[in-house]
Amino acid sequence: MSIFIIAELGINHNGDIEIAKQLIQIAKDAGCDAVKLQKRTIDMVYSAEYLDQPLESPWGKTRREQKEGLELGQKEYEEIDRYCRELEIDWFASAWDPESQDFLKQFNLKYNKIASAMLVDKDHLKLVASEGKHTFISTGMSTYKDIDLAVDIFRKSNCPFELMHCVSTYPMEDGDANLKCIPMMQKRYQCDVGYSGHEVGLAVSYAAAALGITSLERHITLNRSMYGSDQAASVEPLGLRTLVGAIRKIERAMGDGKKQINQKEIPIAKKLRAHLKWEASE
């Protein structure tokens, strides 16, 4: 099974539909399988006290103005849906509140996503699982107990899912990747496990691919110097094309794990073992 590669737009579009469309086109051109966004209802996710705090941003002088500036609305999501259908690339989003989850239903998407921040919200897990769509569950900032609960809810709901190993630092230091969690979760939960990376560079993602992940999610950006908290941990267009190409090459290189003589080796073996009067055998 091929690794499902997700280009995470997140909020790197900075509330601009044209930037969002550029990122979708980049993901399509690079060979990604899907793009993902994030959807929030500002007044449900953040307290009034937090939103009233001062913060200089391109949209104003308060956190509310910044958060509202980063959100896409009905019109923009309709355009994203139309554009992705035109390009023939799947899209989906991680909802951070029940209103946002309900909002996404109108687009009849194939997939759901549980953001790491939402993994500890039992009601949210039950709401998403009730839809029965294949769900990617990120496990950043979480313990075995947290993951156990999520797995139990999705299995009781008979909702298909896969876990995603994740470390929620932006950017993540390579030494914090702890990729050995991937085979651990495969064994403990007997399910598919992907990787959602926030590191700078591509090497850690390559290593994750070699550990048998079923999905790979990386944030993408037009330029890492753009405004935004996720930009520094994102992959630029050239890097994304390199990443996808290398992942597909790693998939081919992994093989089936059976030690046997490759048919291409036989003429070489006959030459190098001629003095041994060697003949190929099963």
Q: Report pLDDT digits (tens) over 148-184.
A: 999 999 999 999 999 999 999 999 999 999 999 999 9
Give pLDDT, residue 237: 98
Q: How much is the average pLDDT of 108-119?
A: 98
Residue % of the chain over a pLDDT of 90: 98
- Which residue in the block uniquely carries the two structure tokens 């073992």? 273
Mean pLDDT of the chain: 97
Contact 136, 191 (CB under 8 A): no
| Phi, then psi, of 265 in degrees rounded to 5 | -85, -20
Nearest-CA neighbor of 132 among 163, 153, 106? 153
Tell whether the model's pLDDT for residue 282 goes beyond 70: no
Give pLDDT, residue 1: 78
Give pLDDT, residue 281: 80
Please list the residues that pair with 7 across neighbouring strands. 35, 218
Q: How much is the average pLDDT of 259-278?
A: 93
Q: How much is the average pLDDT of 13-24?
A: 98
Q: How much is the average pLDDT of 217-241?
A: 96
147 compared with 278, residue with greater pLDDT: 147
Q: How much is the average pLDDT of 57-75?
A: 97
Tell whether the model's pLDDT for residue 22 goes beyond 80: yes
Give pLDDT, residue 266: 94
Residue % of the chain over a pLDDT of 70: 100
Could you give the CA distance from residue 198 to residue 44 in angstroms, rounded to a whole number? 26
| Number of residues assigned to the chain | 282
Three-state DSSP at 277 gives coil
Topology (CATH) of 4-276: TIM Barrel (3.20.20)
Tell whether the model's pLDDT for residue 280 goes beyond 90: no
Tell whether the model's pLDDT for residue 146 goes beyond 90: yes
Could you give the CA distance from residue 250 to residue 269 in angstroms, rounded to a whole number? 26
Nearest-CA neighbor of 135 among 166, 172, 95? 95
Q: How much is the average pLDDT of 203-215?
A: 98
Three-state DSSP at 121 gives coil
Q: Which DSSP string do the residues of 73-107 spell out, in sequence order?
A: -HHHHHHHHHHHHHHT-EEEEEESSHHHHHHHHTT
Q: Interhelix angle for 17-30 vs 237-254, to 10°? A: 30
Q: Which ranges of the chain would DSSP assign to H, the alpha helix?
A: 17-30, 42-45, 48-51, 63-70, 74-87, 98-105, 122-129, 144-156, 181-189, 203-210, 237-254, 266-272
